Amino acid sequence: MSKTKPTSPKKSTTQSFIEIDEIKDDIMLMRDYSAVTIIEVGAVNFWLLSTEDQMSMIYMYGSLLNSLSFPVQIVIISKMMNISSYLEYLESKIDTQRNEIIRSRLEEYREFIKMIVKKNTVMEKRFFFAVPFNPLEMGVSGVKAKNYGKEYIFNRAKTSLYPKRDHLLRLLAKVGLKPSVLQQQEMTELFYNIYNPSNVGKQLAPVDSYTDVVLTSG
């Protein structure tokens, strides 16, 4: 009686666990045919504002959230800031500075930065609003969204998301924040760095030049 030779279990690739299917323009399509557009919001040094300005910003931000008639997801990404490139930049300025007074000030500033980093963990934070699209917004036909093809879903997602996106952009600007919509290149780099933490901060070549996935092993 012949025995079947045991085979090793199949190993899933990293890509099989990622829900992102495709990014086009400023729309990210997921495998379940839902979609999302992402707005990045610049940070504000809240504690440098006067008490009146702080209260005004809190009130306006609360009014913004209460005025939304659609769901949003607020995402904050925190990571340790790598200032080695900034220190190298300071070194280059010190080396080329001929004015002794300015050179001395730059050296003091460099040492101050080193001391701050040594005593404290310097974090970089990025803030995002994610506005989602669910295929069920298409009605009963949304149950079988995959039958309509990606191009059709992209167009329907844009029709649903763009008015919401523009409304949110206006509200954020009124609060005094600086919002910007992530485009294909920026969105790809964001998620590339999330899934490849060892390469955080890496800038990719234009995504249109890639013919394969850009994820690498960590």
pLDDT digits (tens, 9 = 90+) for 35-63: 999 999 988 888 788 889 889 888 988 99
pLDDT at 32: 86
Single out the residue in 121, 149, 175 at which a domain terminates.
Answer: 121
**Residue 107 Cα distances to 61, 84, 97, 143, 163, angstroms:** 41, 15, 11, 64, 51
Same domain, 141 and 178: yes
Tell me which residue has tokens 């295929």.
135
Say whether pLDDT at 76 is over 70. yes
Domain final residue, candidates 96, 121, 146:
121
**Same domain for 150 and 133:** yes
Is residue 215 one of the residues assigned to a domain? no
Within a 13 Å sphere around the CA of 91, how many CA atoms are in the beta-carbon half? 7
Q: Which phi and psi angles does 78 have, rounded to 5°?
A: -115, 135
Please check the confidence at residue 187 and state whether its pLDDT lies above 80: yes
What stretch of H or E contains 130? Answer: strand 123-133
End-to-end CA distance of the chain: 45
User: Are both 75 and 151 inside the same structural domain?
Assistant: yes
State pTM to two decimals. Answer: 0.74
* CA distance linking residue 164 with residue 27, whole number of Å: 13
Same domain, 75 and 93: no
Residues of the chain above pLDDT 90, percent: 26
Q: At what angle do helices 84-96 and 100-119 cross, to 10 degrees?
A: 160
Provide the H-helix boundaries in 41-183: 51-67, 84-96, 100-119, 150-175
Question: pLDDT category, 139, cuts 50, 70, 90?
Answer: confident
50 and 141 in a single domain? The answer is yes
Shared domain for 71 and 86, answered yes or no, is: no
Which residues constitute the domain of residue 112? 82-121
In sequence order, which residues have a C-beta less than 8 Å from that of residue 203 and are 6 or more positions away? 189
Q: Are residues 86 and 75 in the same domain?
A: no
Note whether 98 and 142 are same-domain residues. no
For residue 165, pLDDT beyond 90: yes
Looking at 70, 93, 121, the residue that finishes a domain is 121
Question: Is 213 a member of any domain?
Answer: no
Domains held by the chain: number: 2
- Residues 155 and 183 both lie in one domain: yes
Measure the CA–CA gap between 153 and 33, rounded to whole angstroms.
7
Domain co-membership, 142 together with 65: yes
d(CA 199, CA 218): 9
Question: From CA 84, how far away is CA 82, in angstroms rounded?
Answer: 6
Residue 143 located in a structural domain = yes
